[in-house]
Structure 1
Amino acid sequence: MHLETAAKMIADASSVTILTGAGVSTASGIPDFRSTNGLWTADEAREYYISNHYFYKDPVDFWQKYKDIFRVKLLKDYGPNHVHRYLRDLEVNGKQITVITQNVDGLHTLAGNEHVIEYHGTLNSATCPNCGSSYDLPHLLTAETPVCEKCVHVLKPDVVLFGDPITEHDKAEQAIQQSELVLVLGTSLLVSPFNMLPEYANSLGKPSILINREPTVMDELFDIVIYDDLSKIVQQLQK
């Protein structure tokens, strides 16, 4: 019954804001960093190494650990899965879709969604902290420690590191304001301030749906909550 209600809510909404987490990308082979068995729980030191502080302290070792932890060399082997394509299909079929994603893999954009807010940045580029020049993924893979071709400073990845400010929160809230429905997919809602967005939607009285593999601490905020494999649920929603 929950699934049928969710399908009707999605069908009836002309504009949907979709919040996505690691559970959307796992079907593409990208590990879930924060689930119960995720990589972050295996080694809390990763948060130290993937930080603004450590980048400036030891940029050479930072890049070595960053590339290893995020499997940057494998990014080119990953592609959108049917969950990404489902969200693109909603847009193709005439809905106004905004995706606000915690994921840094760039797969929503690769799938073709036009309005993607990369809340935590992207693995696919880096910027020179000295002159502001931007570089794409192929350049980042040319050397162990990628540097700016113009001023030879070590590049800083465009991922939001621990200690970096979140710059997209206001834009995310604006998208929620303008939508008829909020759909949350594949996130544990443990990371702040991203997890303030469902609270914001609730404060505005926006209808909302959560689909996740396991319960979250914010389940009571949602009108519909479905615990199941996201890939399976999306296939059922498509029917």
Structure 2
Amino acid sequence: MQLESAAKMIAEASSIAVLTGAGVSTASGIPDFRSTTGLWTADETREYYISNHYFHTDPVDFWQKYKAIFRVKLLKDYGPNHVHRYLKELENSGKEVVVITQNVDGLHTLAGNDHVIEYHGTLNSASCPNCGKSFDLPYLLQSETPVCDSCEHVLKPDVVLFGDPITEHDRAEQVIQQSDLVLVLGTSLLVSPFNILPEYAHSLGKPSILINWEPTVMDELFQVVIHDDLSKIVQQLKK
């Protein structure tokens, strides 16, 4: 049985690279923008608005769109769910766990995981493109268009916008290289270059598990594939 195989592989691994997507955060009430019924599909212009180009074209309107699309004001209402806590429990049991997440909500860090690579950045802060000063979420919520309190430039979110470079890919590959097991949770593996990571793991012959509600185009790369509710499967793995 796939579940038993997954449980055995996790139990035997001492270092685990965990790749997570939106399916991990949905149990916390955060919508999945990229699932087939997700909000992202409702309006294709979102990609245009949440881009580096649009930020530089109209930073004031950018911030309005950005806050609405990502429900930034609600971030403080969200908390880690039992999938996040399960990964922390694996860490507490003595395993080396590194989470490489597509999610920008910061919940893995909030759950207490010590090693989190935020592949697409974070909603919880922004930086001044002029002087580099960083600002936290409460500061960003104080005004419609947050500006630097030192040099008065409009702040840029610490999320990787469309058109921004991905800076964490090499570090993510290093983590996979050093791991005994690659565990992929709640992602459709449609977004590039994140979806190169499972291919890289496969090329190295790493044992791997995929748990996702829907089939993905990369299912064949994994030794164990489970299509089911992630929250339910995690509860079963804990047992």
TM band (smaller chain): over 0.9
What residue is the counterpart of 2:143 in the other structure? 143
User: How many Å separate the matches in 1 of 2:94 and 2:106?
Assistant: 23
Q: Given residue 183 of structure 1, which amino acid in structure 2 is its aligned partner?
A: L
Normalised by the length of structure 2, the TM-score is: 1.00
What residue is the counterpart of 2:212 in the other structure? 212
Q: Deviations over 1:94-123 (max 9, x none)?
A: 000000000000000000000000000000
Residue 225 of structure 1 and its aligned partner are, at CA, apart by: 0.3
Which consecutive segments of 4 or more residues in structure 1 shift more than 4 A? none
What residue is the counterpart of 2:132 in the other structure? 132
Where do 5+ consecutive residues of structure 2 fail to align?
none
User: How many Å separate the matches in 1 of 2:160 and 2:39?
Assistant: 18
What residue is the counterpart of 1:160 in the other structure? 160
Aligned residues: 239
User: How many Å separate the matches in 1 of 2:56 and 2:229?
Assistant: 40
Query: Is the counterpart of residue 233 in structure 1 residue 233 in structure 2?
Result: yes
**Identical-pair percentage:** 84
What residue is the counterpart of 1:92 in the other structure? 92
- Matches for 1:104-119 after TM superposition, within 5 Å: 104-119=104-119
What residue is the counterpart of 2:75 in the other structure? 75
How large is the Cα RMSD of the aligned pairs?
A: 0.3
Q: Given residue 209 of structure 1, which amino acid in structure 2 is its aligned partner?
A: I
User: How many Å separate the matches in 2 of 1:157 and 1:96?
Assistant: 30
Q: Deviations over 1:52-89 (max 9, x none)?
A: 00000000000000000000000000000000000000
Q: Deviations over 1:154-189 (max 9, x none)?
A: 000000000000000000000000000000000000
Query: Is the partner of 2:179 in helix, strand or coil?
Result: coil
Query: Is the counterpart of residue 200 in structure 1 residue 200 in structure 2?
Result: yes
Normalised by the length of structure 1, the TM-score is: 1.00
Residue 34 of structure 1 and its aligned partner are, at CA, apart by: 0.4
Q: Given residue 160 of structure 1, which amino acid in structure 2 is its aligned partner?
A: V
Q: Given residue 42 of structure 2, which amino acid in structure 1 is its aligned partner?
A: A
Residue 39 of structure 1 and its aligned partner are, at CA, apart by: 1.1
User: How many Å separate the matches in 1 of 2:72 and 2:128?
Assistant: 18
Q: Given residue 51 of structure 1, which amino acid in structure 2 is its aligned partner?
A: S
User: How many Å separate the matches in 1 of 2:174 and 2:39?
Assistant: 32
User: How many Å separate the matches in 2 of 1:142 and 1:121?
Assistant: 21
User: How many Å separate the matches in 2 of 1:114 and 1:47?
Assistant: 31
Query: Is the counterpart of residue 8 in structure 1 residue 8 in structure 2?
Result: yes
What residue is the counterpart of 2:44 in the other structure? 44
Residue 40 of structure 1 and its aligned partner are, at CA, apart by: 1.1
Residue 28 of structure 1 and its aligned partner are, at CA, apart by: 0.2
- Matches for 1:174-189 after TM superposition, within 5 Å: 174-189=174-189
User: How many Å separate the matches in 2 of 1:157 and 1:228?
Assistant: 34
User: How many Å separate the matches in 1 of 2:118 and 2:29?
Assistant: 20
What residue is the counterpart of 2:169 in the other structure? 169
Q: Deviations over 1:210-237 (max 9, x none)?
A: 0000000000000000000000000000
Query: Is the partner of 2:86 in helix, strand or coil?
Result: helix
Q: Deviations over 1:123-175 (max 9, x none)?
A: 00000000000000000000000000000000000000000000000000000
User: How many Å separate the matches in 2 of 1:50 and 1:5?
Assistant: 40
